[in-house]
Amino acid sequence: MIKIYHNPRCRKSREGLALVEASGQPYEIVHYLKTVPTKQELEKIIHQLGIKPMDLVRTQEAIWKSEYKGKDLTEDMILVALSTYPKLIERPIVLRGQKGVVGRPPEKISEFLDN
């Protein structure tokens, strides 16, 4: 089953969800701003994506700029920041099996679902 971490207020996330829906495969939507992933869940997601925690951060968000930018942060500190401020999590995230992709640009989702 596909799992999509989704923010309905984000255009790119809505585009990503439309691609998941169009695939015809079963899926689950996680509204991550309401159901905030724990640090442990984020560790698993990052492992599935094959990226570093920093690669999942929306660095243009005001909270990042005011609280974290320019600081020497460990991966653990970044994960805590993401679980504390889920608005910092890049979106959409699409997972299937042991793999996943961040849908920016949304075409990455199509490529991922086709494989």
SS3 1: coil
Is 10 part of the annotated catalytic residue set?
Answer: yes
Which has the closest alpha carbon to 83: 27, 44, 29, 109?
44
Catalytic residue among 1, 5, 9, 10: 10
Helix ranges (H only) for 5-93 are 11-22, 39-49, 62-67, 75-84
Assigned token pair, 101: 């992709």
- The catalytic site residues sit at 10
